[in-house]
Each structure stands twice: as C-alpha cells, then as structure tokens.
Chain A
Amino acid sequence: DTGVSQDPRHKITKRGQNVTFRCDPISEHNRLYWYRQTLGQGPEFLTYFQNEAQLEKSRLLSDRFSAERPKGSFSTLEIQRTEQGDSAMYLCASSLGGGRSYEQYFGPGTRLTVT
C-alpha cells in the first residue's frame, strides 16, 4: 500500500535561498493538492492540479511560489527567495477525480524552517 509520499521531510534553509519540495501522489489519483500548515493552525489550501493542469491557486500563493505537475504524476513546489514567514509544514494530498474527489489523502508533509 503506497500512500502519498513527500520529500524531503525536513528542510532548513537560510533566508533568501530557494527550496523545492516533491510530492508523489497515490498512483491512480489524478488530483493533487498543496496545503500549508503553520503551528497550531489547520492546513490552508495553496493550489490544486487535475492531471498536469493547475486549476486553482490561493491568494496565499505569492509570486515567489510556483508549483508544477509535469506529466500529471509527481508535483514540485518551489519557493524562491525564502522568508522567515515561509516557515511551516507543507502538506500534499491527492484524490480521485469525479465523484470521489472530495476525499483527500495526505502525505507526511515537509517541514520548512527558514533561519
């Protein structure tokens, strides 16, 4: 049973550096979501893909953030010129399409610390 996987699990970076995270969804899931979770809060939606198309982006996703899902499989989330406010857990989730798209399965997250 292969669930959603994310890499790396932890990332420490200095302010101003670029970072990239990877998410591998459950293989038959064509929808993929990115969320951000800060300490003591629930996850907040960032963006979502259906296959390779990025269909929705939150206002939280500033122009320093970019997400891709080439070939509709794994996805990457890049943050350029990191700021201390970017420190958070970045969660990836995936779901089936159509009538089952409401049920999202989450990965373990990537914890980013910007120093």
Chain B
Amino acid sequence: AQTVTQSQPEMSVQEAETVTLSCTYDTSESNYYLFWYKQPPSRQMILVIRQEAYKQQNATENRFSVNFQKAAKSFSLKISDSQLGDTAMYFCALNSGGYQKVTFGTGTKLQVIP
C-alpha cells in the first residue's frame, strides 16, 4: 500500500515571497515517482513538478522546486516569488512501481495575498 500525508490544510503567503508546502509519503517500493499537482478553483488539475525516486537531484521547474529527502520519505514543494495565480489547492501525489493508480494527499489550500 502507498500513502501520502499533507499536514497543512491551509497556508497563505504574501505576493513575491517564498512558501514551502510539506508532504510525507510511504511506500515499500524502491522505484516510484512523486508529483505536485495544482488545482485552481473550479479548474482542472495541472502537473506542477515531478521527481523520480532514483534521481538524487531535486527537480526544479522555474519558480517551483522540491526538497526530496528519500530516507525521511519527505517531499516538500517550494514556490519562490509567489504570484496571485499560484492561489490553488496543491496536492502531493505518489505513483509506486507496479501500481497504475496515483495516490493523492488531502491537499494544501494556498492563498497568495496581494
């Protein structure tokens, strides 16, 4: 079984500041993928960033970067220079080797304040 835990139901950040969203996970597989998805209000889920477990280097996509701590099973998302358009629900997700389904956390609602 695979589990994903997001312990921050809601967060807020001032525009242009940096915010970090936390995620922990559990899986018995050695090969897996981790993702952060963004779901704006009433809009569809968008893949923000992905991390392959066998890669030690943390993934980066423009203003979005992750801190992947494999031993601690931690996968946090850092958003730099926050913009109003970053306001959304953010879901951490896990796809373990052999599983076709993606397991999602309960989400963190991020509000960017002007």
Inter-subunit contact A33/B100 (CB<8 Å): yes
Inter-subunit contact A106/B101 (CB<8 Å): no
Determine if A109 is an interface residue (Cβ-Cβ < 8 Å). yes
Per-position 1/0 for A13-56, Cβ under 8 A of B: 00000000000000000010100000011111100100000011
B56-64, B77-85, B104-112: which one contacts chain A?
Answer: B104-112
Secondary structure call for the B interface: strand
Point out the residues of chain A lying under 8 angstroms from B103, CB to CB: 45
Please tell me the size bucket of the interface on A: 20 to 34
Q: Size of chain B's interface in residues, with CB distance under 8 A?
A: 21
Inter-subunit contact B100/A41 (CB<8 Å): no
**Footprint of B on A, CB under 8 Å?**
31, 33, 40-45, 48, 55-56, 58, 91, 93, 101-109
Q: What are 17 of the A-B contact pairs (CB < 8 Å)?
A: A42-B4, A42-B105, A42-B106, A42-B107, A43-B104, A44-B104, A45-B102, A48-B100, A48-B101, A56-B100, A93-B102, A102-B95, A103-B35, A104-B95, A106-B45, A106-B46, A107-B44
- Report the 3 A-B pairs with minimum CB-CB distance, sorted nearest first: A42-B104, A45-B101, A106-B45
A42-B91, A56-B101, A103-B35 are known contacts; what are 19 more A-B pairs with Cβ within 8 Å?
Answer: A31-B100, A33-B101, A41-B107, A42-B93, A42-B107, A43-B104, A45-B101, A48-B101, A56-B100, A101-B100, A102-B33, A102-B95, A104-B47, A104-B102, A105-B47, A106-B37, A107-B44, A108-B44, A109-B44
